[in-house]
Amino acid sequence: MLGSLNQCSVAPQAPKPINSMNYATLNRSISYNLLRRAFPIRAYCTVYSSKRNNLFSRISPVRRADLIIPVLDQWVVEGRKVTSLELQRIVRDLRSRKRFSQALQVSEWMSVSGLCPFKSGDCAVHLDLIGVVHGWEAAECYFNNLTDEQKNDKTYGALFNCYIREGLVEKSLAHFQKMKELGYAYCTLVYNNLMCLYRSTGQLERVSDVLSEMKENGVTPNNFSYRICINCCGERADFSGMEKLLEEMESQPFISVDWITYSMMANVYIKAKFKEKALAFLKKLEDKLHKDPIGYNHLISHYASLGNKEEMLRLWGVQKIVCKKQINRDYITMLGSLVKLGDLETAEAVLKEWESSNHTYDFRVPNVLLIGYCQNGLVDTAEIMLQDIIKKGKTPIPNSWAIIAAGYSNTHKMEKAFECLKEAIAVRAQNPGWRPKPHLVSSISKWLGDQQDTREQEAFLSSLKTVVTGNKDVHDTLGNTEASGIGEQNEIEEIVKL
């Protein structure tokens, strides 16, 4: 079935972004994988054969997509069985972890191995993964080569989702019309996807029209249907419309309004600075929490936005009792909320609590306090803290040093900023996806130029070539960098935003 992609022709086109792949590249990738099945890498797979007794435990640690198929081949060589349910579960798990390339490899192997039935639902998942990994053109090509029997509501829906993900309005609407003609459009998921299209393309007023059409066509809205409509009303500052939608939602016998909806309502009113309204919905949110730690994270973050430290601390205490165990995410939320309010003393106490809890050491947790110190001009304190962590045998991620480098840059201590950024580059292996902020690179490069230290400047820029721009010359990126830089305040907003 997947081999049908090789029949796709390609028209000349401009180069695609890195996260997309043209048909020719896709065909080469597929052919390469077929060769790998004929000549699998046995040595690599043998590492896992004696230590891991189920297929998922072998696949899970593999990070390179091109090494997934040899693992599957080795499993079969060992005489072990595979089932559709097991492979579907693995694909589902990899997708949930955003490991789409690896999920696509498992799905591809399942489709061509002949060891398991590949049903229409599997085709739909496969099509969606192709769209995520290789772009909508590849997904469309795969769809066009399916048999008439395989072109059903599931695969039509998957292609519809690919168009919507790319924001292709005309293609999405034409496809939606075709689905209506075939009787495939009359389900909640399809209408919800259409709402997402209008929201993502800024046509907020049309979202409520889709809800009306749903009801007219006898399609039952669900929680998500109402939430996206409520959110769009909030973005348009249509508070009356938002309240009416919530009332309608609460009156539906088939819908149980949970804390997420009340969190959304509170967030809209917090942004609009309607404090009393926001507090009323925060109370409803808390009543719906039960033992959901993510809900507590939202609630604490909302109270931070209102500047209410007392409620934050109360809820943090309640969460620790009700939810039993706190994970790194919970500490990041609490630390970010305290830093947002400028309460570094309490943040220090929370960080000590985290350090004594024997959690997996995640530098994103102490980084929150590093940002807080730098925001408050305590850059030296931030560096001392990081050095103390290093003395305890921890290797920081480059982000940690970059936070301090930015702090020194903002206080015009450029020599210190330069040294810290060099430290960040030295530990880049701890986070290969890290990129320094362009405005920081520009500031340091300018400072080196002002020092007339040409040799040091060239060495610095040379060390950044692969980090900042890949194959492009780093000099080309230093023209318009201030606009693309993100300061510490923006970073802390991202930390507490849920």
Residue pointed to by tokens 């399609």: 219
Instruction: With a cut of 70, list the residues of the chain below it in pLDDT.
Output: 1-52, 453, 466, 468-498
pLDDT at residue 357, as a whole number: 87
CA distance 61 to 47: 12
Q: Which of 481, 441, 480 is nearest to 461 (CA)?
A: 441
pLDDT at residue 450, as a whole number: 85
Instruction: Determine, yes or no, domain membership for 437.
Output: yes
pLDDT at residue 114, as a whole number: 85
Instruction: Determine, yes or no, domain membership for 423.
Output: yes
The DSSP string of 121-174 is HHHHHHHHHHHHHH-HHHHHHHHHTS-TTT-SHHHHHHHHHHHHHTT-HHHHHH
Backbone φ and ψ for 47, nearest 5 degrees, come out as -55, -35
Tally of CB atoms within 10 A around 311: 18
CA distance 337 to 357: 20
The DSSP string of 180-207 is HHHT---SHHHHHHHHHHHHHTT-THHH
Instruction: Determine, yes or no, domain membership for 47.
Output: no
- 83: tokens are 């089932």
Angle between helices 84-96 and 100-113 (to 10 degrees): 160
Instruction: Determine, yes or no, domain membership for 302.
Output: no
Angle between helices 293-305 and 328-340 (to 10 degrees): 10
Domains in the chain, number:
1
pLDDT at residue 265, as a whole number: 97
CA distance 158 to 145: 14
> What is the pTM for the complete model shown?
0.77
Instruction: Determine, yes or no, domain membership for 336.
Output: no
CA distance 445 to 473: 14
Residue 250, amino acid:
E
pLDDT at residue 108, as a whole number: 93
Measured at the CA of 345, the angle between CA 282 and CA 493, to 5 degrees, comes to 50
Q: Which of 62, 161, 44, 43 is nearest to 102 (CA)?
A: 62
pLDDT at residue 370, as a whole number: 98
Instruction: Determine, yes or no, domain membership for 448.
Output: yes
Q: What are the percentages of helix, strand and coil residues in the chain, rounded to 5?
A: 70, 0, 30
pLDDT at residue 474, as a whole number: 44
Instruction: Determine, yes or no, domain membership for 376.
Output: yes
How many secondary structure helices (H) and strands (E) does the chain include?
A: 27, 0
Measured at the CA of 208, the angle between CA 204 and CA 211, to 5 degrees, comes to 135
Instruction: Determine, yes or no, domain membership for 435.
Output: yes
Instruction: Give residue 447's domain range.
Output: 361-470
Contacts of 474 by beta carbon, 8 Å cutoff, 6+ apart? 441, 461, 462, 464, 465, 468
Residue pointed to by tokens 């936070």: 403
pLDDT at residue 468, as a whole number: 60
Q: What is the CATH number of the domain that holds 390?
A: 1.25.40
